[in-house]
Homo-oligomer: A and B are copies of this chain.
Amino acid sequence: MPETELDLTLDAARLTARLVDVPSVSGDEKALADLVEQALRGLPHLTVDRYGNNVVARTRLGRPERVVLAGHLDTVPIAGNVPSRLDGDGVLWGCGTTDMKSGVAVQLRIAATVPEPNRDLTFVFYDQEEVASHLNGLGRIAEAHPDWLAGDFAVLLEPSDAEVEGGCQGTLRVLLHTSGERAHSARSWMGSNAIHAAAPILARLAAYEPRRPVIDGLEYHEGLNAVRIEGGVANNVIPDACTVTVNFRYAPDRSEAEAIAHVEEVFADCGVTAFTVDDSSGGALPGLSHPAAKAFMEAVGGRAMPKFGWTDVSRFSALGVPAVNYGPGNALLAHKVDERVDTKAILHCEERLRAWLTS
């Protein structure tokens, strides 16, 4: 088979290597999207749509349930770790092996080898996940063609060490400003120090007790943290402004509005002179009580874990589609020069998903 085609008869491990060897850094996914589209169009049981460098393929079997398998095509910049390399222990090294071309390989293998699944299937391959949120291909499909993403349940094949990670926590970034009055530091009593005025904010942060609520059997773990602080004019000036940037990671039983209200309340009596929401992305409920999710859990086995970080499952959640993360590879190796994946984990995920969709 020429280099200009993807061979979907390769097993998922070999297919992962093939995908890694086609560079697809964010913004430069066209070559890989073309290969994926071409391969899927060769499968008669699928209808294929394309929007930019996003490819969506669907069965049309009239099943009572539809599930979505989604993954992003892009990687972070290559760091001398392409082409891929398979070592003697069956570990595949290279950029994107974990995040998440092994997951994409599993999607493609299911697309190619399960022509009559027990549920209708939607395969989503999207671009620009590793860059600014407004560029994200899944988000752009959701805006332009929300019907392409319709379904009863979604699996995002992000690396989760082949464990099911349910839902995700929300994230809120707020700027807390304090104010003062400038003066020469030799006559400090003529002014008012905005950095000193931030003392109650830091004290409140240091004393904060985060919640650990259990939702659908998963224990989430919130966190309220200063991620930046800056203040100061010159070494001889009493500063008139200080800003504490706070990041609130919250369990998916709070809405975005509730999260903002909570942070406002925490700092209500701390001398904050301006409260600015800088970024907000809601969480996603795990949805594990949904029948499709229950069947999925039974098929893949193991115990579901909560997802602490924010992921694209939240975009499905916003469309009313419960979603989980489930994929080969360790998320902690993502974006690293020594990124790698155990090929056994890739084959395991492929086999578990096939079992779920053919049982």
Contact = CB atoms under 8 A, between A and B. Distances in A.
Contact of A173 (B210, B233, B235): B235
Interface string A237-262: 11100101101010000000000000
Copy tally for this chain in the complex stands at 2
Nearest to A169: B186
A166 to B, nearest CB: 15
Contacts of A205: 193, 195-196, 199
A174 B133 CA distance: 41
A37 B151 CA distance: 91
Given A205-B199, A232-B245, A226 B193 contact: yes
A134 interface: no
A202 B226 CA distance: 14
Given A232-B228, A236-B247, A198 B202 contact: yes
B310 A227 contact: no
A107 B182 CA distance: 34
A217 B204 CA distance: 44
Interface string A33-55: 00000000000000000000000
Given A173-B235, A186-B169, A199-B199, A230 B230 contact: yes
A203 interface: yes
Nearest to A332: B184
A202 B228 CA distance: 15
Interface in A191-240: 193, 195-199, 202-203, 205-206, 210, 221, 223, 225-239
A226 B247 contact: no
A186 B309 CA distance: 5
A239 B227 contact: yes
Contacts of A199: 199, 202-203, 205-206
A227 B310 CA distance: 36
Contacts of A221: 187, 189
A242 B198 CA distance: 14
Interface of A: 169, 171, 173, 184-189, 193, 195-199, 202-203, 205-206, 210, 221, 223, 225-239, 242, 244-245, 247, 249, 279, 308-310
